[in-house]
Structure 1
Amino acid sequence: MTIGNSYILMGGNLQFQNEVGLSTFEIRHENKALITVTIEVFPTKLDYRKDYKKLLEEVNDEIYNLAYHFIKKTHLGGAKTKLEGTPSRSEFFRLIESHFVKLMQAIQRIEQQPHHKFHTTHRKVRGDQLGRQDQQARKYLRKRPHLLVQVDKGGINLGGQHVMPTNGLNIRKEVTYDTHENRFVKWIMIRLEEKLDDLIKTLQFRADYTVDGDIIVRLNDMKQKLKDKAQSYFWKSISRLDRSVMSLVLQMAPGYRESFQIYLLLSRGLALQGNIYNMSVKDVATLYEYWTYLKLGQLLGRKYEMVDQDVIKVNHNGLFVNLQPNASAKRVFRHPKTKEKITLIYQKREQRLPTITQIPDTMLSIEKKGKDYEYQYVFDAKYRIDFALNDTTYGRNYDGIPGPMEEDINTMHRYRDSIVVNEEGPFERKAFGAYVLFPWNNEDLYQSHKLYKSIEDVNIGGLPFLPNATTLVERFVEQLIDKSPEEIQQEGILPRGTISEWESSIEEKVMVVKISDSEEYKLALHNRYIKMAVNRLNQNWQEVKYVSLYTTRNVMEENGVTHYAEIKEVKVDGDAVWFIVDNWKLLANIIKPVGYGISNYVVTSLNNLLAAKELPELFMKSNDERTLWRMLGRFSGRVKYGA
């Protein structure tokens, strides 16, 4: 800056925070730019040319995939097309693949009930064959008076004379399907065939892209179906479109309406709204947070069926993306074999805690058969990494291997310790593990890191996660889903369910008694007692605290173990033993016999009784045996047990 003859050197710092990419600033004087400077900021934790752009692409792709899934389930309800512009080739592919079947169904419906009009023609006939004359036919006779001849009666009364034409024009009305609306639908088929052909050629001649042969086959199949349809008997007679068309038929008639809507979507693309589109694409930390949630959902979607999601919602303005700082979103999946529910929640607010509300980036909740609560795991995206440089404490502690920041690991401890539940007893942790997801791509090297091994020890640690480094996360999530509740319980450090598991390990014994007579069954339930002959009782029957009823088919059609009750008093009367019980409790599920039943009675644990679904489970003696049975039972309903 110049003041008189003096110069002042002005300095300052520019803080870009987490923003990367190109930034331009100008030095102006009186609204005139004196100098323009463009700076490109490169991220230190990502390969800018590969990983950063890949993050952008994958976030965009997954958002649109979810939108197409939503539209597919809601029959285009709430979807809005862009007002201008054309979709990218990748967007066009996803759109036409999602809607091709519906488009062909709409065209088939048009063929069954096509729009038509009446076409009027005139044919020259003898005078005695003439019928009602229209304006054109009368004009024909008016210009040819020599065709009129005088007759005795009938004919046309003209100036007191009866005349009759020797020939004239007869009206003939024919149905034609060559309407503007049908021409437009045929044009749609030809236009889409051309776009598919362009996409196929683009994919086949790209040197930097390995073409998936299956995609080419699907594209060629769609192209051929459109070509065959356009050349079929009905559409072959339809002329070429020679003008723009907009009619109520296209907007409202069955078949035409769907064809028109789908074509608009294919030709313009889908308009989505939401805070994610107001986010600066330079804000790489927020971008990484969005990407981790969407990528986890994509990995789950490869192996498990998605049954619900609210990442994409609909309101009066159309579709919008429900990823924003003050709201949560979720995707729900179902295990194809066990039918267990898997829920991935973005920014789940854990409220009503003893301390403060916790909002982890991503919460994975896994349902397990036989448990009335879910197993929850925290995945927190942290766009930070310690490169373990030489002569640093981190480098010395972790053998020079880059990894997550130690303060982020401490945050995971906070999440797991503070997310608790209180259900008529002491607080129990319901988060079984917490993991930092951080931007690093050397997965092989990181497996030697202490904070990776700590996951196995204490269920807290870090996992590298980038577009080209997803193997460790994918493998780990799959292991969490496939583990049995008993395995999870053993790995945790006093997580939720530990107290109940410990209490149930002090096994209270139950005597499951065979009841073959319906009258005996009614008396037992009504009078709350079981009477057994002494010679029916073997050793250790005195240790039982509960008694349960196993009914045969003589008692009820759907037989099995139905009720249990706590023993209040035992009376011995000669050769009989009376078990006086408290109120009978109905089991949640009838424990059904599989191939064989109970000959007299069997002693099992209360824990076994409450968890069992089939009779063989009551005969199992060891925890390992029960764990194996339940693990197999999660995946198959036809497990056999040989006692």
Structure 2
Amino acid sequence: MTYSKITIQVPVKTEDATSVEVVIAASSKKAPLTEIGLLEAKEYGEAVIQISEGCSYEYAVTAGYDLAGDNRIVRSSSLRKSAGSIHPNIYVGTLTIDVMDLSRKEKCGEIQLEVRSIKTDYRTDYRYMLEEITEKCTELLMQQHAPIHQYFTIDFNKDALTLYQRFSFIKSILDTDEFNDAVHRILLSPVTNWEETEVERNISNVKRINSKILHQMARAVNRIDLSEQHYLKNKLKSIPEKVKVNYKKETTDTPENRFVRYALSHFRQFCGDFLNHLKEDNRLKREAQLLEDKLGRLLSHAVFKTVSTISTLPLNSPVLQRKAGYREVLRTWLMFDLAAKLVWKGGDDVYEGGKKDVAVLYEYWLFFKLIDIIGEVFKLQGTDVKKLIELTKDGLGLKLKQGEYLPITGVFESKIRRLQIQFSYNRTFRGDKQYPHGGSWTTNLRPDYTLSIWPSDITQETAEQEELIVHIHFDAKYKVKDAKEIFETDINLNEEKELQSKGTFKRADLLKMHTYRDAIRRTGGAYILYPGDNSTEKRGFHEILPGLGAFCIKPSKTNSNGVNALKAFLEEIAIHLVNRASQRELMAFRVYDTHKNNNSSQVNEQLPEASGLNRGLMPDDTFVLVGYYKSQAHLNWIIKHNLYNTRMTLADDGMQLRPQTVGAKYLLLYTGREKVANKLFKLKMDGPRIFSKKELVSKGYPTKPRERLYLVFEIEQEIEKEFENVAWKIGELANYPKKHGLPFHTSLTEVMQVVIRP
């Protein structure tokens, strides 16, 4: 039930009182304050009084007492004694708050509040994700090269965190719907055998006479005389009153049922051992007791009353391996010992101090989910168990921990291209390295997951420096409700700014993706992963990269969990990356080609604007053909016909046909030994043509051509106004020839360094 305030009577150990009254009230209507039943609280291992994360609550305590705890969560009032407020913030789980005796300044009792997640399905999500993480880890341990040959016994004297982590793994495989359904299926329809036993029956009830019965009729004791009228009187004087007959009855005492009983007993004994070594009444003890009771109820079922103790394990039984119910119990039993060996320090982030941090658990769960998806899309071999699990003094340690770097590598062998794949958890991109090194160009950034892809025949460092690597980042956001709210365009920016000042900025996650995309060098895309309903993908241009977006990945076994959308996206990424002619490849080369040298050119002179037909007017990439004319008659012919010719020859005095020459945009003419030229023409974009000497003569060429072929450029009739009445000191150009009469090329940048303006 939901209340506006709840009063709690807390037992205390003081000389003045046996209980203290604590009143908790919601600060607003949006702050839920509920009380659940004891059975529900016991089932989920939660406290009865429940509040919500992200909300605030007020409290008042009996005079002379106060509440104490984490000062970020429990804050005493500075105006009133024995009063204050509770702010769970992002904490989720059982919150234990001490009741303090102010006069003695000591703890005298405690209250427990359950802080629930804003996600309504967080209970189911928590169980499912922990179960799947356990399942994935045990699958890794079952690999042939896994270190499971090491034997470990559980030390119940270890710290409580390690014990709770191990028990959580065990609970995650025993307290599941799949396991419960499997056992109930066995109880409803157990495997049975027909057992033949020998019983005594009254001879009058024997329906079929065989040789064994005839033998007993002749020799058995406890006989009765036959009457004179009996049709057997002439052969037998008497017959036995009772005879022994074989009787077949259905029994559940089969090897498979013995195994199920053994497995359940083994699980129950494990819980009992935990309980025997736990002195403090905490969540671990309550959950272990609940699980032990549940297993005890299953073992007390009538099916197991006639099942005897197991003598051998029938692991090769077809029933255990194939029949529904039995195969799930066998699988759980195989996982059980492996799960008990696992030590996961990262689990501290999930349930330390009574927490049930489902958001952190979602981040861990997504790691395994992404490994599977990436491995399937890029056809990678199975994950190397040594990358994830290592031997420790406590057992088998799972390396996965929030904030610690963990890379998984492989090679994508496509028919077209061989690419190196690295999937990283918590990779830090440092901000202290200059271009062209990898990293961030502002500050240290650490996405949750990073998929890095580069050609496999070079190192990652080389790929970074040559712009041949692509990073795709993902962040886990369990508490995001709907991606549409983040990516909506119809928003009030003034209202958004006000929310930002209050610390409730809705689109902070989107801006974080922009930060990854823009600050981390060679990033192709950044995407949110959240357990919602809508996936959104925004593309920067025409291709899939660069991009931003959000994909919904739900903790669920159904096909509607969103995995297919992410898988399809990564498949499109794979197709895109093997395309050698993509726009992204071209952009990457342009960036590399532009920044490979630190020398940056400067042109502080008037130039035509690079727009429209002149959009490609980049001074370093725009070339000027400095051509020679022989005489005034030659110049007049050039101007009249809008043509400029130069010899095509391989001789030393001929012009070399380079891309800069044939792709020249401007023509600057000079004659004789001129060191200054002012005759600038714009060339047509079609490029030069080849004329024979006969064609030149037909156009009235002023002299007799001596070469067989000539390269001829067409000239535009107009020149941009920025180049009118301007001269250039061509004698200072680096390519100015020692022998006069030879044309040469130079860049517009170099030409504008020697400009002379009136």
TM over 0.5: no
* TM-score when normalising by structure 2: 0.37
Greater gyration radius? 2
* TM-score when normalising by structure 1: 0.42
Task: Say which structure, 1 or 2, has more relative contact order (CA 8 Å, 6+ apart).
Answer: 1
Decide which structure has greater helix share. 1
